[in-house]
Amino acid sequence: MSTQSTLRVRVTRIEPVTPLIKRYTLEALDGGALPPFTGGSHIIVQMRDGSRHYNNAYSLMSSPNALGNYQIGVRRETPSKGGSAFLHDKVAEGDALSITYPNNLFALDKTARHHVLIAGGIGITPFMSQLHDLRQRGGSYELHYAFRADEHGAFRDELAGLCGDRVSFYVDSKGQRLDLAGLLGGMEPGAHAYVCGPGPLIDAVRGAAQAVGVESARVHVEQFAAPKSMGGAFTVVLAKSGKTVEVAAGESILNAIERDSTVPVECLCREGVCGTCETRILEGEAEHADQYLSNAEKAAQKTMLICVSRAKGGRIVLDL
């Protein structure tokens, strides 16, 4: 099972960006440099509100070349699971937080000759650090950013300054729409597409890419919201503890284990992105729904993330 080290940071600035989004600047408590990262990386912010604990993943927006601070953008979710509301309502400048070291599940493909970046709403955040990487190495790219209305166009002025004529904005309230078929259909063979944003946008990009013949390996997705657990009931055998857990239809393995208080399991994000609940498969196969394991690791069926992934059949044996 994976473990992640954490570090303590101080919130040195909180900046309202839109009616729903705030930018948080984080510095190391000792004032030193923070750990290095690459464009597209995220951290998990660990929060405690009384007896309640929240662990939310946020993309790093700042330049990978400026390690004096990290910056994250936090959208107040409605309804909130607790983390975004806690940051918006209860965290102030000067407060200390615990975060994990950066991890990158949304890296720029080094073999791509051109990068087509597609963002929706708060999904713009991972592209902010990627743009710094692209600018530094002289990479070829274009950015397409869609949002509901002018007041929700987070970081629009910064993006215009960073990208110049390489960025296009699409404002839904003005009837401006992304032409995904045209955009993806016009990609050169060596180009790659990247998308981050609401589920419908991600589904639309995947569907459009498939329709115009863009291979799935050239489409990269960042989505921190876990897919809704689907599928029927099955049995999980926990080999180390000698116990058996019945997982209900639509329930995650993690929830079933916690419901029965069977064995302690560490899980930070509960969204299939951090890897802390990665568990070895001893028998059976998983229906993978995470964003942590590579395609090759998923095909190997050696491990699974029990917070979002399920058994393919009626029974699976795990090393717990």
Mean pLDDT of 294-310: 93
pLDDT of residue 1: 42
pLDDT of residue 203: 92
Same domain, 137 and 179: yes
Same domain, 129 and 92: no
Exposure string of 145-157, with b = 16+ CB inside 10 Å and e = fewer, is bbbeeeebbbbbe
Exposure string of 32-48, with b = 16+ CB inside 10 Å and e = fewer, is eebeebbbbbbbbbbbe
Which CATH number covers residue 258?
Answer: 3.10.20.30
Does pLDDT of 2 surpass 80? Answer: no
Mean pLDDT of 255-279: 82
pLDDT tier for residue 143 given thresholds of 50, 70 and 90: very high
Which CATH number covers residue 46?
Answer: 2.40.30.10
Does pLDDT of 187 surpass 90? Answer: yes
Which CATH number covers residue 152?
Answer: 3.40.50.80
Same domain, 203 and 171: yes
Same domain, 163 and 186: yes
**How does DSSP assign the chain, residue by residue?**
-----EEEEEEEEEEE-SSSEEEEEEEETTS-PPPP--TT-EEEEEEEETTEEEEEEEE--S-TT-TT-EEEEEE--SS--SHHHHHHHH--TT-EEEEEPPB-SSPPPTT-SEEEEEEEGGGGHHHHHHHHHHHHHT--EEEEEEESSGGG-TTHHHHHHHHGGGEEEEEGGGT----HHHHHHT--TTEEEEEES-HHHHHHHHHHHHHTT--GGGEEEE--SPPPP-S--EEEEETTTTEEEEEPTT--HHHHHHHHT-S----SSSSSSS-TTEEEEEES-EE---SSS-HHHHHHTSEEETTT-EESSSEEEE--
Classify residue 311: in a domain, yes or no. yes
* Residue that finishes a domain, picked among 171, 188, 222: 222
* Residue that finishes a domain, picked among 75, 100, 125: 100
Q: Residue 11's closest CA among 30, 33, 27?
A: 27
Classify residue 60: in a domain, yes or no. yes
Same domain, 208 and 238: no
Torsion angle (degrees, nearest 10) of CA 215, 142, 224, 312? 0
Range of the domain at 177: 114-222
Gap between the Cα atoms of 254 and 204, Å rounded: 30
Same domain, 216 and 132: yes
Q: Residue 1's closest CA among 292, 312, 247?
A: 292
Classify residue 46: in a domain, yes or no. yes
Same domain, 71 and 147: no
pLDDT tier for residue 226 given thresholds of 50, 70 and 90: low
Q: Residue 127's closest CA among 174, 204, 178, 73?
A: 73
Classify residue 107: in a domain, yes or no. no
Classify residue 285: in a domain, yes or no. yes
Model pLDDT for residues 206-220, shown as the tens digit of each residue: 999 999 999 999 999
pLDDT tier for residue 224 given thresholds of 50, 70 and 90: low
Same domain, 156 and 249: no
Model pLDDT for residues 72-129, shown as the tens digit of each residue: 999 998 877 788 999 999 999 999 999 999 999 899 999 999 999 999 999 999 999 9
Does pLDDT of 48 surpass 90? Answer: no
pLDDT of residue 70: 98
Domain count, the chain: 3
Classify residue 1: in a domain, yes or no. no
Mean pLDDT of 254-283: 84
Same domain, 201 and 268: no
Classify residue 80: in a domain, yes or no. yes
Classify residue 108: in a domain, yes or no. no
Same domain, 210 and 302: no
Same domain, 130 and 207: yes
Q: What percent of the chain has pLDDT over 90?
A: 76
- pTM as predicted: 0.83
Which residue has better confidence, 57 or 284?
Answer: 284
Tokens of 146: 């869609």
Mean pLDDT of the chain: 92
* Residue that finishes a domain, picked among 222, 242, 260: 222
pLDDT tier for residue 3 given thresholds of 50, 70 and 90: very low
Same domain, 195 and 133: yes
pLDDT of residue 228: 64
Q: How many CB atoms lie within 10 A of CB 200?
A: 9
